[in-house]
C-alpha cells in the first residue's frame, strides 16, 4: 500500500486510500457537529422538536441566524473528534511513512457544501498559507461524493510544474486565492468519485478546487494538513513568517 501511495503521489500528485476512515469515526464527527447545531438551535426552538437530521438542522440554523451558524462553524474545528481524526494513529503512521521526519498538524476542519455553493474554492495549490513546502493535505469525504453532488476537482500530474502564480478572485463577495486562469487552459479536470470514508492525500503543488454541489444533500468533508519540518522556512530564515505568503 505504501509503495502505491508513494508512486501515486509522485506521478499523479495525489493518492486515494479506500475505506480509510471508519464508520464510527464518521459518525462521531457528524454527531459532534450535530450537538453544536442543537445547542444553537435550542436558543430559538424551545417547544417543538428539532429537525431529524443534521442537514435540516444546518439549513434551519442558517435560516434563523446566519451569524450564529457562522460562529458555530468557527468553533467546529476545535471539536475533539476533529483533533482526534487529524492525529489518529493510522493517519500518523501513513504520514510518517511518506515524510520519514517530524511533522506538524495544522488546520483540521470540516467543510459544509450545500447547493447554495457559497464556499467553493477556485482551482488553487495548497502551498500558499501553509507552513511547510513539504506538505500533505488529507481530504476525506464524510458523505459519498461525485461530480453531481460536489467533490474535489483536480488536475492529475499538475504538481510537476511546481509553484504557480496565483491571484485573488472575488466570488460571491468573498476573496479567494486561486491559480491564474492561463494555467487551466486545455487542462483536463478530474472530479473524484468517492465513498464516505475514503481519503485523498495530495501534493502541495497539485492544482485542485471545489466542485459544485447540485444535489439537495450537504457534502460533508474533513480536511487536515501535515507539514514536514525540513520544508519549514520559519526555522531557517529569520525574517520569514510562519506561513507561506499568499501572493
Ligand atoms: O473540498 C473542497 O471543496 C476543496 C477543499 C480544499 O481545497 C481546501 O480546503 O484547501
Ligand atoms: Fe485546497
Ligand 1 atom closest to residue 208's alpha carbon, by position in its atom list: 7
Give the distance, in angstroms, between the CA of residue 145 and the centroid of all CA atoms in the same chain: 13
Residue 2 confidence (pLDDT)? 82
CA of 49 to the centre of ligand 2 (A): 37
Residue whose CA is at the smallest distance from ligand 1 atom 4: 210
Please indicate, yes or no, if residue 57 is contained in any of the structural domains: yes
CATH number of the domain enclosing 225: 2.60.120.620
Q: Which pLDDT band, with edges at 50, 70 and 90, does 46 fall under? A: confident
Domain tally, the chain: 1
pLDDT band at residue 120 under the 50/70/90 scheme? very high
In a domain, 247, yes or no: no
Query: What pLDDT band is residue 50 in, cutting at 50, 70 and 90?
Result: very high
Given a cut of 90, whether residue 47 has pLDDT beyond it is: no
The pLDDT value recorded for residue 185 is 94
Name the residue among 84, 88, 96 with its Cα closest to residue 2: 96
Testing ligand 1's pocket by substitution, the residue of 129, 143, 209 carrying the most ligand atoms inside 8 A of its CB is 209
Residues of the chain above pLDDT 70, percent: 100
Q: Is any ligand 1 atom within 6 A of the Cβ of residue 221? A: yes
Tell me which residue has its CA closest to atom 2 in ligand 1: 210
Domain that holds residue 60: 2-235
Distance CA 215, CA 212 (A): 9
Contacts from 92-99 at CB under 8 Å and sequence distance 24+? 94/2, 94/5, 94/17, 94/201, 95/136, 95/138, 95/226, 97/2, 97/5, 98/2, 98/5, 98/6, 98/9, 98/136, 98/201, 99/134, 99/136, 99/226, 99/228
Averaged pLDDT score across all residues of the chain: 96
Has residue 242 been placed in a domain? no
Considering the domain boundaries, does residue 240 fall inside one?
no
**Mean pLDDT of all residues in 59-84:** 98
Residue 244 counted as domain residue = no
Which pLDDT value is given to residue 82? Answer: 98
Residue 201 parent element (H or E): strand 199-202
Tell me how far the alpha carbon of residue 224 lies from the centroid of ligand 2, in angstroms.
Answer: 10
Q: Is 208 close to ligand 1, i.e. is its CB under 6 Å away?
A: yes
| Residue 241, domain member (yes or no) | no
Digit-coded pLDDT (tens) for 163-190: 999 999 998 889 999 999 999 999 999 9
Residue 188 placed within a domain: yes
In a domain, 246, yes or no: no
Amino acid at each position: 500500500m505504501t509503495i502505491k501511495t508513494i508512486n501515486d503521489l509522485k506521478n499523479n500528485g495525489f493518492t486515494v486510500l479506500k475505506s480509510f476512515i471508519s464508520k464510527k469515526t464518521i459518525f462521531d464527527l457528524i454527531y459532534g457537529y450535530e450537538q453544536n447545531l442543537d445547542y444553537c438551535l435550542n436558543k430559538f426552538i424551545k417547544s417543538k422538536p428539532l429537525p431529524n437530521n443534521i442537514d435540516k438542522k444546518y439549513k434551519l440554523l442558517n435560516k434563523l441566524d446566519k451569524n450564529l451558524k457562522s460562529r458555530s462553524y468557527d468553533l467546529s474545528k476545535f471539536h475533539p473528534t476533529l483533533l482526534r481524526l487529524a492525529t489518529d494513529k493510522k493517519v500518523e503512521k501513513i504520514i510518517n511513512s511518506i515524510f520519514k521526519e517530524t511533522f506538524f498538524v495544522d488546520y483540521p476542519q470540516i467543510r459544509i457544501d450545500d447547493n447554495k455553493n457559497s464556499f467553493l474554492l477556485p482551482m488553487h495549490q495548497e502551498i500558499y498559507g501553509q507552513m511547510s513546502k513539504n506538505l500533505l493535505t488529507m481530504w476525506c469525504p464524510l458523505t459519498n461524493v461525485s461530480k453531481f453532488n460536489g467533490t474535489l476537482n483536480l488536475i492529475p500530474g499538475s504538481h510537476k510544474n511546481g509553484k504557480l502564480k496565483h491571484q485573488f478572485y472575488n466570488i460571491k463577495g468573498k476573496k479567494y486565492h486561486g491559480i491564474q486562469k492561463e494555467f487551466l487552459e486545455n487542462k483536463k479536470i478530474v472530479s473524484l468519485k468517492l465513498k464516505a470514508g475514503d481519503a485523498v492525500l495530495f501534493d502541495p503543488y497539485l492544482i485542485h478546487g471545489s466542485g459544485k454541489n447540485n444535489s439537495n444533500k450537504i457534502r460533508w468533508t474533513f480536511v487536515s494538513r501535515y507539514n514536514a519540518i525540513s520544508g519549514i522556512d520559519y526555522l531557517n530564515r529569520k525574517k520569514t513568517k510562519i506561513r507561506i505568503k499568499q501572493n
